[in-house]
């Protein structure tokens, strides 16, 4: 277990402003802290919106939330807000933050000629008199950039942590290409329209340290902090955002009919043959993926193999690659086009998955096909929710995992193409030659059960690669598995202790190799 205090760093960032006037800006900052790969790791947004100002039963409740925070972000607009005891809630929050000497970041909407009401203007004069520096922004993109830069500067100064070059690139691309679809607040749906099981799974993914059932209030707070629900300004009532509905809704297609998977299974190699199955798969994204995988599995071939003393049946396509392809399509599709949906076509010799929308940033297809293109998401809330639900890895590693799964299965690599305004991914199948499908070469299967039980899924994957002759560096494992340096160090320390891996080299030249022999395994 790491003793580095940064390993558990989670700074609670309180976002303060007049709620109704700056509702969109507040949502934007929640998205920033949810989707930015660096800030996601070390911060969590905190906003008090369960009870809109006119409905608050406890006018000081927001101060109780602020009391637990380590950073204070204030957004100044043109309105002062409702008075309570001669001061607005925002003014009370500011006073509390100063009394408790919280690091304060002030952002001011508009230029110097921006007209504010008199009380807000006086409040702003007080802030300047207190000596706070402030940054002006004219739109949400500038607000994102300012807050990100200043939060990173604070973390770097106080904790000696900074984003990698890749994290910077991913974050800036997300700001530039993000669509407003997944963050839109839905007035037509309530929490009763969500699947309790999926809501709980998402909440637990947001708080992986929790080992007990979350109370409804705690669950709502977690979902609100990350942008999956919002609270109506007219009622103290929680409602989902579009991302929340797509991830956890009982039937998102009742509001968004285009958010479905059209699955067609053909007996031959083209659409000239009538489809054997034409299924419109509805439900939230996790359910839709499960449904599509299940139907494909039941309607594609299996081939027998003998592994050790066991006879097993191998599927025609590796499930890992199929799931990654479906997740990729649903995470990155263009949801703003209501005329199109994700289409999955299963032929005798291939599976073709088509989703609306071209890859954001238009990366070269060859680099994308090789898994070398950097991750850019037009749906940051949705994509990050899939990470929280353990359906997606960070940093765009999906295509690399697809490639590895297809090769391990004895199949050709997936290939990508564009068709007008659609992205097309093809998983080549074995066709007439089922003999090419390979049994999984699992190193873990040859280890004593007591040893296997000590390995997590990531450690087993690392071991497989080491056994295949790869030499792995910490940086490569951080990138491939989307984990921190501390996590890699913990994983490798465990494998070294079990004498399954060996560390060679020093400093930046450090790498890890396979070290297993029959006499070296520690049985516990």
Residue 149: which residues within 8 A CB-CB, separation 6 or more? none
Q: Give the integer Cα–Cα distance in Å for 398 and 150.
A: 31
As a whole number of Å, the end-to-end CA separation of the chain is 19
Structural domain contains residue 144: yes
Q: Give the residue from 149, 177, 205 where a domain finishes.
A: 177
Of 35-39, 363-367, 431-435, 516-520, the poorest mean pLDDT is in 516-520
pLDDT of residue 253: 95
Do 382 and 488 have their domain in common? no
Tens-digit pLDDT profile for residues 459-499? 988 888 887 678 899 999 998 888 898 999 999 999 998 88
pLDDT of residue 143: 93
Banded pLDDT at 369 (limits 50, 70, 90): confident
Tens-digit pLDDT profile for residues 392-435? 876 567 888 899 899 989 999 999 999 999 999 999 999 999 99
Do 347 and 494 have their domain in common? no
Do 469 and 368 have their domain in common? no
What is the rounded average pLDDT of the residues 379-390?
A: 90
Instruction: Please give the C-alpha separations between residue 268 and each of 56, 283, 298, 415, in angstroms, as whole numbers.
Output: 63, 29, 17, 20
* 435: number of Cβ within 10 Å: 10
Structural domain contains residue 367: yes
Do 401 and 494 have their domain in common? no
The helix or strand, by DSSP H or E, that contains position 19, with its residue range, turns out to be none
Do 284 and 327 have their domain in common? yes
What is the rounded average pLDDT of the residues 10-27?
A: 90
Q: Give the phi and the psi of residue 230 in degrees, each rounded to 5.
A: -145, 165
Do 430 and 469 have their domain in common? no
Q: Estimate the share of the chain in helix, then strand, then coil, as percent rounded to the nearest 5.
A: 40, 20, 40
The runs of H, that is alpha helices, within 178-215 are 196-206
pLDDT of residue 392: 86
Structural domain contains residue 340: yes
Q: Is the pLDDT confidence value at 376 over 50?
A: yes
Tens-digit pLDDT profile for residues 120-175? 999 999 999 999 989 999 998 899 999 999 999 999 999 999 998 878 877 777 77
Residue 138: which residues within 8 A CB-CB, separation 6 or more? 109, 110, 111
Banded pLDDT at 522 (limits 50, 70, 90): very low
- CA torsion, points 321, 322, 326, 327, in degrees to nearest 10? -40
Q: How many domains does the chain have?
A: 3
C-beta separation of 97 from 128 below 8 A: no
Do 403 and 476 have their domain in common? no
Q: Give the integer Cα–Cα distance in Å for 509 and 422.
A: 43
pLDDT of residue 209: 66
3-class secondary structure, 376: coil
Do 10 and 154 have their domain in common? yes
Q: Is the pLDDT confidence value at 309 over 60?
A: no
What is the rounded average pLDDT of the residues 361-387?
A: 82
Do 380 and 413 have their domain in common? yes
Structural domain contains residue 303: yes
- CA torsion, points 240, 242, 243, 244, in degrees to nearest 10? 20
Tokens of 214: 């979350």
Angle at 367 between CA 362 and CA 371, to 5 degrees: 110
CATH of the domain at 421: 3.30.565.60
CATH of the domain at 449: 1.10.10.10
Structural domain contains residue 198: no
| Residues belonging to the chain | 524
CATH of the domain at 32: 3.40.50.10140
pLDDT of residue 347: 97
C-beta separation of 248 from 194 below 8 A: yes
Structural domain contains residue 310: yes
What is the rounded average pLDDT of the residues 299-323?
A: 83
Do 393 and 281 have their domain in common? yes
- For residues 106 and 81, which has the higher predicted lDDT (pLDDT)? 106
Banded pLDDT at 56 (limits 50, 70, 90): very low
Tens-digit pLDDT profile for residues 238-281? 899 999 999 999 999 999 999 999 999 999 999 998 999 999 99
Of 157-161, 188-192, 438-442, the poorest mean pLDDT is in 438-442
Q: Is the pLDDT confidence value at 390 over 60?
A: yes
pLDDT of residue 207: 74
Banded pLDDT at 448 (limits 50, 70, 90): low
Q: Is the pLDDT confidence value at 58 over 80?
A: no
Do 299 and 158 have their domain in common? no
What is the rounded average pLDDT of the residues 435-439?
A: 86
Q: Give the residue from 436, 468, 488 where a domain finishes.
A: 436
The range of the structural domain enclosing residue 460 comes to: 443-514
Structural domain contains residue 191: no
Do 288 and 369 have their domain in common? yes
12-16, 63-67, 224-228: range with highest mean pLDDT = 12-16
pLDDT of residue 24: 84
Q: Give the integer Cα–Cα distance in Å for 508 and 485.
A: 13
Structural domain contains residue 182: no
The helix or strand, by DSSP H or E, that contains position 55, with its residue range, turns out to be none
The share of the chain scoring above pLDDT 90, in percent, equals 51
Of 55-64, 86-95, 162-171, 258-267, the poorest mean pLDDT is in 55-64
Instruction: Please give the C-alpha separations between residue 393 and each of 36, 266, 278, 324, 443, in angstroms, as whole numbers.
Output: 14, 31, 30, 10, 23
Strands 350-356 and 415-419, bridge-based pairing: unpaired
Q: Give the residue from 142, 177, 212 where a domain finishes.
A: 177
What is the rounded average pLDDT of the residues 430-459?
A: 76
């Amino acid at each position: 277990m790491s003793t580095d205090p940064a390993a558990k760093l989670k700074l609670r960032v309180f976002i303060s402003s007049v709620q109704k006037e700056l509702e969109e800006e507040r949502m934007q900052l929640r998205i920033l802290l949810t989707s930015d790969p660096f800030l996601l790791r070390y911060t969590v947004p905190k906003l008090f919106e369960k009870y809109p100002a006119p409905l608050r039963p406890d006018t000081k409740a927001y101060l109780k939330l602020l009391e637990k925070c380590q950073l204070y972000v204030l957004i100044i607009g043109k309105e002062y807000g409702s008075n309570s005891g001669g001061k607005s809630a925002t003014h009370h929050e500011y006073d509390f933050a100063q009394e408790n000497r919280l690091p304060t970041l002030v952002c001011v909407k508009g230029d110097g000629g921006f007209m504010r009401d008199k009380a807000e203007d006086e409040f702003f004069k007080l802030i300047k008199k207190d000596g706070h520096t402030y940054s002006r922004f004219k739109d949400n993109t500038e607000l994102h950039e300012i807050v990100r830069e200043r939060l990173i500067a604070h973390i770097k100064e106080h904790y000696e942590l900074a984003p990698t070059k890749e994290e910077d690139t991913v974050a800036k691309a997300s700001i530039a290409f993000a669509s407003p679809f997944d963050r839109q607040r839905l007035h037509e749906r309530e929490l009763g329209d969500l699947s309790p099981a999926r809501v709980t799974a998402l909440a637990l993914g947001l708080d992986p340290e929790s080992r007990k059932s979350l109370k409804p209030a705690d669950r709502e707070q977690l979902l609100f902090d990350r942008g999956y629900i919002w609270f109506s300004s007219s009622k103290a009532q929680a409602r989902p955002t579009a991302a929340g509905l797509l991830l956890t809704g009982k039937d998102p297609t009742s509001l968004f009919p285009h958010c479905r998977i059209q699955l067609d299974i053909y007996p031959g190699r083209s659409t000239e043959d009538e489809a054997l199955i034409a299924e419109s798969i509805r439900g939230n994204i996790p359910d839709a993926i499960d449904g599509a995988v299940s139907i494909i599995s039941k309607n594609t071939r299996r081939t027998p193999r003998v592994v050790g003393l066991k006879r097993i049946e191998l599927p025609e396509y590796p499930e890992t690659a199929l799931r990654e392809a479906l997740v990729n399509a649903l995470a990155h599709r263009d949801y703003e086009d209501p005329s199109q949906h994700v289409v999955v076509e299963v032929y005798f010799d291939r599976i073709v998955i088509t989703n609306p929308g071209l890859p954001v940033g238009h990366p070269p297809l060859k680099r994308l096909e090789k898994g070398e293109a950097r991750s850019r998401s037009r749906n940051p809330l949705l994509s990050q929710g899939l990470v929280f639900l353990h359906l997606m890895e960070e940093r765009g590693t999906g295509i690399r995992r697809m490639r590895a799964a297809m090769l391990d299965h004895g199949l050709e690599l997936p290939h990508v193409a564009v068709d007008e305004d659609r992205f097309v991914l093809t998983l080549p199948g074995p066709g007439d030659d089922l003999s090419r499908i390979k049994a999984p070469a699992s190193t873990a299967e040859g280890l004593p059960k007591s040893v296997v039980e000590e390995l997590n899924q990531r450690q087993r994957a690392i071991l497989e690669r080491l056994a295949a002759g790869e030499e792995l560096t910490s940086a490569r494992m951080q990138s491939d598995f989307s984990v921190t340096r501390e996590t890699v160090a913990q994983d490798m320390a465990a494998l070294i202790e079990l004498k399954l891996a060996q560390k060679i080299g020093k400093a930046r030249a450090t790498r890890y190799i396979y070290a297993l022999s029959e006499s070296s395994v520690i049985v516990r």
